[in-house]
Structure 1
Amino acid sequence: MSKLVRFGNLLFLAGQTSSGQAQARSIEEQCLEVFSRIDVLLEQANSDKRHLLSVTIYLKDMNDFDRMNTAWQRWVDPDHLPARCTVQAILGLPELLVEFSVIAIAKD
């Protein structure tokens, strides 16, 4: 599985999750860890969160939506909001609470 696929200037980041380790148990902590991973991958591809086009968020439990959304709003650039949808899903590991799939564009 590729963490990042580039097609022309389009960047596809799939399956971005926290490590699921004890240090990232809450939805907020997992979101922060994932946002950090996304930031690193985008930077490696000459992009950043201002260049997000679309984000799909998979939540283990929709009861976490408001808390996830608060973390999202603190991270995302309010002047460059991507298209976004959030769905409830069964994730790959029981300790995972959230997963992000991202489409962005490279700066070059």
Structure 2
Amino acid sequence: MTIERYLPEHRMSEATIFNDTIYYTSVPENLDADAEAQTANALATIDAVLATLGSDKSRILDATIFLVEKSDFAAMNRAWDAWVSPGNAPVRCTVQAGLMNPGYKVEIKVIAAR
């Protein structure tokens, strides 16, 4: 089976696809925003990338959310709850983590079926 790489660069690809499973990590573009807005931005990017690759949020199997501050958990959940596909919530894990860009408050990794 072939591994597809979406927008590959030297260091990493934007997404990879294997066996009709999409692997993608989203980071916010609005680095001056609060955690809720950053989460909403990252989720909107997930929507766009999945659509480009022939999938959508209802087909997400697994999501891992990395938060810098535990205190942003409720704000992140507000954005997530407004976005997640009713009846199609994936398995999800949220981890407190130091992220590489000091402007990031959240980073979201998803695995989705195509």
The letter for the 2-side match of 1:72 is W
Provide the rounded CA distance (Å) in 2 between the counterparts of 1:3 and 1:74. Answer: 25
Amino acid at match of 1:26: D
Structure 1 gaps, min length 5: none
SS at match of 1:35: helix
In structure 1, the residue matched to 2:9 is none
Residues 95 and 85 of structure 1, relative CA distance in 2, 3 Å threshold: same
- Structure 1 or 2: more helix by fraction: 1
Q: 1:64 aligns with which of 60, 72, 86?
A: 72
2:7 aligns with none
Distance of aligned partners of 1:21 and 1:61 in 2 relative to their CA distance in 1, 3 Å threshold? closer
Residue 51 of structure 2 corresponds to which residue in structure 1?
43
Larger radius of gyration: 2
Query: TM-score scaled to structure 1, two decimals?
Result: 0.91
Q: Which amino acid aligns with 1:29?
A: A
**Structure 2 unaligned blocks of 5 or more:** 1-11
**Does residue 1:7 correspond to 2:27, yes or no?**
no
Could you give the per-residue CA deviations for residues 18-69 of structure 1, whole angstroms, max 9, x where no partner exists? 12443xx101110111011101110011100000000000000011001101
Cα distance in 1 for partners of 2:66, 2:31 equals 18
Q: Which residue of 1 aligns with 2:8?
A: none
Task: Give, in whole Å, the separation in 1 of the partners of 2:78 and 2:36.
Answer: 8
Percent identity over paired residues? 37
Q: Tell me which residue corresponds to 1:18.
A: 28
Which residue identity lines up with residue 18 of structure 1 in the other structure? P
- Any runs of at least 4 consecutive aligned residues in structure 1 with deviations exceeding 4 A, and if so which? none
* 3-state SS of paired residue (2:13): coil
- TM norm structure 2: 0.86
